[in-house]
Structure 1
Amino acid sequence: MTEQSVFMVTGASRGIGAATARLAAAAEAGYRLVLTGRTIAPLRALAGELGGPDRAIAIACDSTDWTALSGAVDQVLDRWGRLDVVVANAGISVTTSFLGEGGEPPERWRDLVLTNVYGPALTARAVLPELRRTRGHLVLTGSAAGRGVRPGNLYAATKWAVTGLTQSIRAECVGTGIRVTLIQPGLVDTGAIPPSRVADPKLRPDDVARAVLYAVGQPPHVDVNEILVRPVGQRADR
């Protein structure tokens, strides 16, 4: 990567996205940062923290809105002329039960599926043509929940979908020079943990961010396909 390389993070306002942006800004590669999310105020605050307009920009963008997402990419290219790393991190968690024994009402499930599956798919479509030009890197945030069965858990099913999506993207990108990585964190202390899991072992957002930067920091001929990272003591079925 060059000193002018551009690093974009979706869902950058808090948690894993914000932690990844901070580490990328501090990386030796000297990335310029693009921070996107649905709420502009925390993005602007983080952009200011990371060096202001010359080093980081904030763009209000819903990753499930193709017009907004493709427009954000155009804005980045108009400003800095390139895109080198994209972390498709935007996602939400909703507690569900198919038997109707607790959980959020079905009306909230649609946003869960759109944000966690449709959003990263659109992100890939918006950024891959430019990543092909720069021989860049696409990172998708999955979950350890996308590797096993979780009773009544639609969130886990969406993360299974992200696993399949990542593999499909990687297969299509063979021969392009694009690297594609799936990050699968265990339970992360993002401030949105369900009450039933508050006492469980947890990762910090910067633990996951370090995994992202590890994959991105490999030599160009090395493609780290998947990273599974759990806190010590987390059960495999949780």
Structure 2
Amino acid sequence: MTKTLLITGASTGIGAATARAAAQAGWNVALLARSKETLADLAGDIGEQALALPCDVTRRDELDEAVAQAVAHFGGLDAVYANAGKGTSTPGIEQGDPDEWHAMIHLNVLAVLTTAHATLPHLRKTRGHFVVTGSKAGRDHMKGSVYGATKWFVQGFAGNLAEEMREWGGRCTLITPGMVDTPFFDEPKPDKIQPDDVANAVVFALSQPRSADVREIHIMPGG
């Protein structure tokens, strides 16, 4: 039976690359993002293995509805990739924008928690796998980086969730890339990590046998 992966932040960058890579590896993919048209185009490119579910994952009602639709369409969930995230346009603490912090924390922290809360009952049924995008910024101290602080949360949360899921045979993997060439940045970064590189790491983690619990994959730009 074909397994199903639900991806948040699926419309562009790492999420879209992971959707394509997972589908190529034989997975069904449930695609969650706010961009309805971009998501529909991606699902159309992938074909019958993909289901576009436009939603704002910071809104619990929309997230719950998308998860329910994915489960109804594909018959269950075998893996979830909590990939949605954002940064801020104003760096630093003293000069930072609290409104930007609020929106970022809601997505980078609370939406990761609610994605886990909404999907773990389904993953428990399949002894499934929860994958989450962290960052090198969550492993190092970076001057005045509130974004980095949100990824420090993700770093700790993923380890704690891995221990919780282990009790019933589930797994959790944290992906911690350095700078990735995605729309996250205003200018292209062709010499940095490519979205396909991160996607390949996600598919690698999902493909490991039960005897191997891959807790973290840390990726840095080559060269």
Q: Same fold (TM over 0.5)?
A: yes
The reply on whether 1:89 has 2:83 as its aligned counterpart is: yes
Please give the secondary structure, in 1, of the residue aligned with 2:176: strand
Query: Which residue of 1 is the match for residue 22 of structure 2?
Result: 24
Q: Give ranges in structure 1 of 5+ residues lacking alignment.
A: 234-238
Cα distance between partner residues in 2 of 1:37 and 1:187: 22
The reply on whether 1:227 has 2:222 as its aligned counterpart is: no
Cα distance between partner residues in 1 of 2:190 and 2:78: 36
CA RMSD in angstroms comes to 1.6
Q: Give ranges in structure 2 of 5+ residues lacking alignment.
A: none
Q: Which amino acid aligns with 2:160?
A: S
Cα distance between partner residues in 1 of 2:126 and 2:99: 41
Q: 2:39 aligns with which of 5, 26, 43?
A: 43
Deviation at 1:79, TM superposition (A): 1.6
Cα distance between partner residues in 2 of 1:41 and 1:199: 25
Query: Which residue of 1 is the match for residue 132 of structure 2?
Result: 140
Cα distance between partner residues in 2 of 1:71 and 1:200: 37
Q: C-alpha deviations, 1:137-191, integer Å up to 9, x for none?
A: 1100000110011111100000000011111211221221111000000000103
Query: Which residue of 2 is the match for residue 153 of structure 1?
Result: 145
Cα distance between partner residues in 1 of 2:105 and 2:190: 25
Q: 1:12 aligns with which of 6, 10, 13?
A: 10
Q: C-alpha deviations, 1:108-161, integer Å up to 9, x for none?
A: 111111100111110101111111101111100000110011111100000000
Query: Which residue of 2 is the match for residue 99 of structure 1?
Result: 94
Q: C-alpha deviations, 1:73-110, integer Å up to 9, x for none?
A: 1111222211111100000111421122xxx6322111
Cα distance between partner residues in 2 of 1:91 and 1:227: 18
**Total equivalences in the alignment:** 222
The reply on whether 1:167 has 2:163 as its aligned counterpart is: no
**Regions of 4+ moved over 6 Å:** none
Cα distance between partner residues in 1 of 2:77 and 2:33: 17
Q: C-alpha deviations, 1:37-87, integer Å up to 9, x for none?
A: 111111100000001xx3211011212111111111111122221111110
Cα distance between partner residues in 1 of 2:147 and 2:5: 27
Instruction: State TM-score, norm by structure 1.
Output: 0.89
Whether the 8 Å CA contact 1:84–1:135 is kept in 2: the answer is: yes
| Higher mean C-alpha displacement, 183-192 vs 169-178 | 169-178
Q: Which amino acid aligns with 2:208?
A: Q
% of aligned pairs identical? 44
Correspondence list, 1:41-80, <5 A: 41-51=37-47, 54-80=48-74
When residues 70 and 211 of structure 1 are mapped into structure 2, their CA distance, relative to the original with a 3 A threshold, is same
Whether the 8 Å CA contact 1:187–1:201 is kept in 2: the answer is: no
Query: Which residue of 2 is the match for residue 236 of structure 1?
Result: none
Query: Which residue of 1 is the match for residue 116 of structure 2?
Result: 124
